[in-house]
Structure 1
Amino acid sequence: MQGRGGAAFAGTLLGEGEGLGVDWPDRWTKHKWCLLVSVSTVFLYGLGGLVFAVLTWFQTWVYSDVMYVADYDVLVLITTCSCILLLTFLVGITGTILNSRPILAIYALLLWPAFAAILAIGYTSYKRSTFALDRKLNLAWSQWYTSLDRLVIQNSLHCCGFYNPMHEVTPSKTCYVRTSLPGCKAKLLAFERTNLRWVWTVAFSVVPLHVANIFVALCCVNHVTVRFGKGIMPKRYRLQAEDVRRDAGKVKEALGVVSRPRFVRASSSSVFREDKEEMSPLLDDALGTYISVPSGYVIEKRR
């Protein structure tokens, strides 16, 4: 019986949404739902960027090592931006679930460096792919890439040298003077144009969604619950002792001086007793006789 009673009581509490301190969905405001959807989208494109960066770092897809060598700075920016986005998501989902406005304020603040990181990815990749990409690759191959970097690109793209097997080549088992492999410039240029175009397209496509998330955060942070603010009355509206005395003085002035009535007691003259004795027989004949007793005793009718 005790176990059934406890289960019924727990079921009653859960049905009423009390006891566990959890706000059930029917109590969530529309601002909280908007925040939840917004934070979820931040998680999605942050997770997507991090997955792409991890797969590239571990060289799990075709030509990932080429991107590691040729677009190392873009890869670092993608990794950094994804980490910032996931951190922002953790702060945002914590503040949304706990209905904490200070935490949500931090979430709204973290959206701005994430926005700057997304713009940095898009700007860097767009500028590199659009303005004199072939000359940039010429300079990078001759001055920036090491022998190991050139070897990685040659093995991945199945080429030898930059223009031909005799121009700035890193010798290997497949790359030598009389090899039939072409130079790496054409293949590297085609890969960079395609890869960088995908990067800046995705980055600039995320920008409108991220701006919308910033707008939602700014509009909904203070309305995550029905109550606005922390529920504490501002100091200037708090009632103080001086205010009570001032109001009491105003009431006295409005009503004037009220005198307390005096206590009235029965007269001790014999005339009052004689009148009472004369009226008693009349009352007995008309209504019957009742005995008045002290409080706590039963009043009985005399027969």
Structure 2
Amino acid sequence: MEKVDRWTTHKWCLLSSVCTVLVYGVAGLICALMTWFRTWENADVMYVADYDILMLITLASSILLITFLVGISGTLLNSRPILAVYALLLWPAFIAILSIGYTGYKRYAFALDRKLNLAWSQWYTPVGRLTIQNALRCCGYYDALHEATASTQCYPRTPLPGCKGKLYRFEHENLATIWSAAFALVPLHIANIVVSLLCANHVTRTFGKGIMPKRYWLSGADVRADAERLMGTFPDGRPVVRPGSTRPPSSTLFREDKEETASLLENDWNGTASNGLRLVPQDVNEQALCTVPLLHSSR
């Protein structure tokens, strides 16, 4: 991993792009989780009426988060193969965002009241109708006598109004928010795709993979041609002979010491012979040498 001060401009742009993917991916996932766990008002209505859109939001947010993890790993590690996978994953996320916007806009713009009437009559289960009635404080679709699910608050003579008006207003506002947010992310996501395609190959200052192109590789014929050219440049050249090992000469100090020792031994030899000592060979041990008597003592 390079130091921050050595990062290229392309790497900074790529890092910013990856962070924007994280932002709207996390935002979508938070909204989806808040709806799944019913943490905001009328979340039950969206869970029943727009279940397919809720699934698409969850799927798109998950893809965006996975794409972010791949992108941030490739950016920090300067890995171009990982960044190629990141650029590829941006396309499924783009399709998921378009699916959310298209589904929400189609339901919002084309006969929303008729679609809600059909859904209330054929698609919603009794439990789903009861969930909408409890969330919107209504009973039945047109009134309490029209396909209502009985409960402690919903009965034939209840003062609660029908759910058509409240459900229509909620769906009209909720769907408008969904498709507007989805289509607003489309230009930003396209910009992220363009940045990934342009900057992924320039995350470092090294051109390409840092490998010499194959057209510039040396072949055996090239090596032989270079060798012949060098031999032609030095025609009289002879092979280098390795010198043999030589014995270093002894020092002058050692020779003088040796000569002095030899002269001392010669003087000792002459002195012993004049005193009448019997000479003993050098291989006799020291104890035997000490027991040799003098010649004048034997006389």
Which among 100, 104, 120 is matched to residue 79 of structure 2? 100
Report the Cα offset of residue 252 of structure 1: 6.3
Taking structure 1 as the reference length, the TM-score comes to 0.76
Residue identity in the other structure for 2:235: V
Matched, 1:150 2:125: no
Residue identity in the other structure for 1:121: I
1:91-120 Cα shifts (integer Å, max 9, x gaps) = 000000100000000000000000000000
1:185-241 Cα shifts (integer Å, max 9, x gaps) = 010000000000000000000000000000000000110000022212222212233
Query: Could you tell me which residue of structure 1 aligns to residue 113 of structure 2?
Result: 134
Matched, 1:195 2:174: yes
Query: Could you tell me which residue of structure 2 aligns to residue 58 of structure 1?
Result: 37
Query: Could you tell me which residue of structure 2 aligns to residue 242 of structure 1?
Result: 221
SS in 2 for 1:239: coil
Q: How does 1:249-260 map to 2 (within 5 A)?
A: 249=228, 258-260=235-237
RMSD: 1.8
Report the Cα offset of residue 174 of structure 1: 0.6
- Greater mean deviation of Cα atoms: 228-237 or 106-115: 228-237
Change (3 A) 1:115 1:260: closer
Q: How does 1:31-70 map to 2 (within 5 A)?
A: 31-70=10-49
CA distance in structure 2 between the aligned counterparts of 1:240 and 1:26, rounded to whole angstroms: 41
Q: How does 1:83-98 map to 2 (within 5 A)?
A: 83-98=62-77
SS in 2 for 1:178: coil
Which among 35, 43, 58 is matched to residue 79 of structure 1? 58
Change (3 A) 1:78 1:260: closer
CA distance in structure 2 between the aligned counterparts of 1:59 and 1:83, rounded to whole angstroms: 19
Query: Could you tell me which residue of structure 2 aligns to residue 287 of structure 1?
Result: none
SS in 2 for 1:60: coil
CA distance in structure 1 between the aligned counterparts of 2:228 and 2:103, rounded to whole angstroms: 73
Report the Cα offset of residue 60 of structure 1: 0.4
CA distance in structure 2 between the aligned counterparts of 1:176 and 1:141, rounded to whole angstroms: 18
Residue identity in the other structure for 1:124: T
CA distance in structure 1 between the aligned counterparts of 2:235 and 2:151, rounded to whole angstroms: 113
Aligned residues: 241
Report the Cα offset of residue 168 of structure 1: 0.4
Residue identity in the other structure for 1:61: W
Query: Could you tell me which residue of structure 2 aligns to residue 300 of structure 1?
Result: none
Report the Cα offset of residue 247 of structure 1: 3.4
Matched-pair identity in %: 65
Largest Rg, 1 or 2: 2
CA distance in structure 1 between the aligned counterparts of 2:84 and 2:179, rounded to whole angstroms: 30
Change (3 A) 1:145 1:259: same
Which among 80, 89, 92 is matched to residue 110 of structure 1? 89
Taking structure 2 as the reference length, the TM-score comes to 0.77
Query: Could you tell me which residue of structure 1 aligns to residue 259 of structure 2?
Result: none
CA distance in structure 2 between the aligned counterparts of 1:43 and 1:57, rounded to whole angstroms: 21
Residue identity in the other structure for 1:134: D
Residue identity in the other structure for 1:176: Y
Which among 174, 177, 186 is matched to residue 156 of structure 2? 177
Query: Could you tell me which residue of structure 1 aligns to residue 244 of structure 2?
Result: none
**Structure 2: 5+ residue stretches without partners:** 239-248, 253-299
Residue identity in the other structure for 1:258: P
Change (3 A) 1:234 1:173: same
Residue identity in the other structure for 1:170: T
1:224-275 Cα shifts (integer Å, max 9, x gaps) = 000022212222212233211123445667x6x83459xxxxxxxxxxxxxx
